[in-house]
Structure 1
Amino acid sequence: MTLSTSSMYPEATASTFECASQLGYDGVELMVGMDSVSADIDQVVALSDYHRMPVTSVHAPCLIVTPNVWGTDPWGKLATSGEAARRFGAHLIVVHPPFRWQRDYATRFEAGIAELNAAPENKEAGVIYAVENMYPWRTPAGKFLAYAPDWDPTMRSYDHLTLDLSHASTAHKQSLDLVRSWGPRLAHLHLTDGSGSFKDEHLLPGEGTQRAWEVVRDAVGRGFDGDVVIEVNTHRFTSRADRQDALGRILEQTRRAVAEGMASRLPSYSGSTASTERG
């Protein structure tokens, strides 16, 4: 189980490494662009070494609020994300689909992701690019389809997918359905929740309608052995102690759900050597 640096916001990237180490998380997912440190590979390496807390995944700077982080060329951002992942020893890069106005990027996106996953340097390092499910933007005037070729990666050709429960909620999807339809393409899980609001809420698991713990149990029971990343909104907590208490409780509940999922695995998975702790 790993902790996203976004879960500590508005605290800094350094706080995530400290908190994850104190609570006993297995690693950190680096959300690049949260602050200047998150985009400084040398500083991140120093934090990881100091806290003995590995960076196991990298969220590429493809948010609307990170247009200039690691350059302005989207393919350059993904290339730098790969360099960072290999430097950290991380095994996965989370990628959002392009915005619709990034026309050239969107046109080549599916083929380009396949090329990155097939690149010798990534295959040798065991690094994969996993495209994340997004959602249609909803306004009083109706839906605005902001992503291309699609906000839903289900019917696309990507080999590896990241499931975000809050994004599924905003899209009025059920994450359990996505787990079952994606099958072995599910490579990474952003554990959070949502109420179906037009907002991307990132509630704590169990606070929304996505049946978060059942999603974890079901995914693990079906053979999922990727990272379960706690990516939640903790703005409402006014102190480090309260924020840390909440993240500690989530870690305990997640470990319990993973263990229950492992116990329910079909016999075909009983010989798996995958580590539940990495997830």
Structure 2
Amino acid sequence: MTAPVERHMTFTVPPLRAPSVDAMISVGMSTSCAYPLGLDSAFELSREVGFDGVEIMVTNDPATHRVERLLELSQQTSQPILSIHAPVLLLTHFVWGRDPRVKLERSAELAVAVGAPTVVAHPPFRWQGAYAERFLDIVRAVGDRYGVTVAIENMFPWKIAGRSMKMYAPGWDPSTMDCDAATLDFSHASLSGRDSLELARALDTRLRHVHLCDGSRASDDGGVFDEHLVPGHGVEPVDAVLNELAARGWSGSVIAEINTRKAGTQDARVAMMRETLEYARDALVVPRLHRLTA
């Protein structure tokens, strides 16, 4: 049984470390980038590479939802917690029970406790009954109750044995939903065949959070390979999206969500994350400098 979020406790939330550029856009790292290493290693990796903070992917590891431990690691590494990713994956089915609304509320409660302004949530699977039917209302209610931004992440259509399967309800594309905030994931956009720049423009002011990665288009037979490549190693217009966000004075967070499981060595993992951070800094800083001197 997993430990619940601690209640009625007072913690000192570490001050946010200012980004290394004059922009308001923080570039953080998801703790999933260190998988299969533990939470301690994720915070240390983010600190070593030079990210502005971390996104906590809530998993079966109890440390990912223990406020005291999260704040301790944040303080030790000077890595603010920028966002919480709700436990929406099939592998986290039993985290905080089976009720998806409870999972979302616990995620928001955790975000408040650690000083994170954003919660990332996936659209529900269509078989999640009443939660799927009332998802958008629930998201809005949870955001209002806890004072956090619940940003719905774009997913992708599934095909099994060449047949399209409706996996999500109300759908996989937040730009078609009556939602207030969304997360753009480049790897998921790639799988869906949706142009990331067009999706960012369709979301407009509702785009509040970005998962920085890259991907190749889904194969013609519908094969699903959610790659989460280092940006620039796939086909998505990642730099164009970041350029445009920076140029328009966007103030959300860009969170690296890179699959490093095949890195082989820690040095290789660090190199992948450094390349990711440098890519983001280049794409976000150049348009701002141009704008200031124009």
- Tell me the TM-score normalized by structure 1: 0.90
Are the counterparts in 2 of residues 221 and 263 from structure 1 also a CA contact under 8 Å? no
- Alignment check: 8 A CA contact 1:7 1:231 kept: yes
CA distance in 2, matches of 1:76, 1:23: 34
Q: Deviations over 1:115-174 (max 9, x none)?
A: 12222x41xxxx211100001112233221211011111121111100000000010111
Which residue in the other structure is 2:174 paired with?
153
Structure 1 CA distance for aligned equivalents of residues 110 and 291 of structure 2? 34
The 1-side partners of 2:163 and 2:292 are apart by: 44
3-state DSSP class of the match of 2:90?
coil
Q: Is 2:57 aligned against 1:36? A: no
Aligned to 2:82: 56
- Is contact 1:221-1:266 (8 Å) kept? no
Q: Does 1:129 align with 2:155?
A: no
2:179 aligned counterpart, secondary structure: coil
Aligned length: 263
- SS of the equivalent of 2:168 reads coil
Contact 2:60 2:95 in 1 (8 A): no
Which residue is 1:183 aligned to? Answer: 204
Residue deviations 1:196-235 (CA, integer Å, cap 9, x gap)? 1321111110111112122211222233211011001111
Note the C-alpha offset of 1:44. Answer: 1.5
Gaps of 5+ in 2: 1-26, 219-223
Aligned residues with identical type, % of pairs: 40
Which residue type is aligned with residue 197 of structure 2? L
Distance in 1 of aligned mates of 2:217 and 2:100: 30
What amino acid does structure 2 have at the position aligned with 1:178?
L
Deviation digits for residues 78-135 of structure 1 (CA, Å, limit 9, x no counterpart): 111111111111010000010010011011101111112222x41xxxx211100001
Residue equivalent to 2:102: 76
Q: CA RMSD in A?
A: 1.7
Residue segments in structure 1 that go unaligned for 5+ positions in a row: 271-279
Partners of 1:65 and 1:240 lie apart in 2 by: 25
What residue number does 1:166 align with? Answer: 187
The answer as to whether partners of 1:13 and 1:34 remain within 8 angstroms in 2 is no
Closer, same or farther: CA 12–169 of 1 in aligned 2, 3 Å: same
Given candidates 221, 224, 234, the residue that maps to 2:260 is: 234
- Comparing 196-205 with 180-189, greater Cα deviation is found at 196-205
1:276 paired residue number? none
Aligned to 2:17: none
8 A Cα contact 1:222 1:266, kept in partner: no
1:1-279 residue pairs with structure 2 within 5 A?
1-33=27-59, 35-119=61-145, 121-122=146-147, 127-197=148-218, 198-263=224-289
Question: Shift of residue 34 of structure 1?
Answer: 5.7
